[in-house]
Amino acid sequence: MTTHFADRLATAVMRRESQIVVGLDPHPQSVAGGLAGAEDLCRRVIATVAPAAVAVKIQIACFERYGAEGWAAWQRLAAFAADAGLLVIADAKRGDIGLTSQAYAAALLDGPVDALTVNPMMGDDAVAPFIARAAQTGRGVFVLVRTSNPGAALLQDVELADGRLWHQLLADEVSRWGAELVGESGLSSVGAVVGATVPEHLVDLRARMPQQPLLLPGAGAQGGRPEDLAAAFANHPAGGLVTASRSIMFADRPQEAAEDLRSRVQAVL
């Protein structure tokens, strides 16, 4: 998989006419049957929503809890999604330093995975191994910048000595880290995670990260609204990837839920 990730993403968005990412979060509290039940549900969701989506985002923790069998299961799901024509984002939020990040990158930026979420908490030396691996293998990384969870403001909105908020500093760094990985599409393989639940930050963050694809979790059950996300697509139709998990996975008709979300996103382009 040596083709540039952002170019693959841009091509897939245009071909499938979709910016929808379906999150696969089969937590045991919501899915009966243990690992087998989780894998079966995810397969059915993938098969159902594939026509309306451009990618799936697999929450790795939901499978890692089952040990080696769980690891094998999520990789099978990734291959199944890839066979359905979908890009695959591994939502693992890894981030450590030196050899540890190199090991995480080798383990996760391989096989049928197209991109990985990365936690920049420990600084640029924690992120660098993931970016290097992504560059070598034609994959992408999405760095956490301003997340969708209610507690994010505690740290991510802290004002720094230079007047920027912490998440603004992260955005500026992500733009710098991704500058050498911009493809023919004009997008970088180094993207950012920005919650759909905080659209008030989008205009500023898009200006700070003009070449970054933005992974926008929190649409649906968390309250994010596609109608508020237009700024994400200001520079490119593939500049935003609207992610919904529970509102699609557990809908009575997942395909209709995905199609509705796709239509709402297309309306703001």
pLDDT tens per residue across span 8-20: 999 999 999 999 9
* 70: its two tokens: 């769980």
Which value, to the nearest 10 degrees, does the dihedral of the CA atoms of residues 28, 33, 36, 41 take?
Answer: -70
DSSP 58: E
Task: Give helix 34-49 / helix 68-83 axis angle, nearest 10°.
Answer: 10
Catalytic positions are: 93
Write the CA distances from 91 to 62, 146, 190, 210, 230, integer angstroms. Answer: 10, 15, 15, 23, 24
Number of domains in the chain: 1
Confidence label for 261 from pLDDT (cuts 50, 70 and 90): very high
Nearest to 7 by CA among 244, 183, 253, 257: 183
- Average pLDDT, integer, range 254-261: 96
Give CA–CA dist 169/172, Å, rounded: 5
- Average pLDDT, integer, range 55-81: 98
Q: For residue 9, what is the enclosing H or E element?
A: helix 5-16
What is the percent of the chain with per-residue pLDDT over 70, rounded to a whole number? 99
C-beta separation of 27 from 237 below 8 A:
no
Instruction: Please tell me the predicted confidence (pLDDT) of residue 64.
Output: 97
pTM above 0.75, yes or no: yes
- C-alpha triplet 122, 125, 131: angle, nearest 5°: 110
Give CA–CA dist 212/7, Å, rounded: 12
Instruction: Please tell me the predicted confidence (pLDDT) of residue 221.
Output: 78
- Average pLDDT, integer, range 189-206: 96
- C-alpha triplet 192, 15, 171: angle, nearest 5°: 10
As a whole number, the mean pLDDT across the chain is 96
In the predicted model, is pLDDT for residue 110 greater than 90? no
In the predicted model, is pLDDT for residue 159 greater than 80? yes
Instruction: Kindly report the CATH number assigned to the domain that includes residue 46.
Output: 3.20.20.70
Q: Which residue has the tokens 């970016």?
A: 131
* 243: its two tokens: 């992610």
Q: Which residues of 48-84 are buried (b: 16+ CB within 10 A; e: fewer)?
A: bbbebbbbbbbbbebbeebeeebeebbbebbebbbeb
Q: Which residues pair with 171 in a beta bridge?
A: none
Non-local (6+) Cβ contacts of 28 within 8 A are 34, 38, 65
Instruction: Please tell me the predicted confidence (pLDDT) of residue 2.
Output: 57
Structural domain of 142: 5-266
What is the percent of the chain with per-residue pLDDT over 90, rounded to a whole number? 95
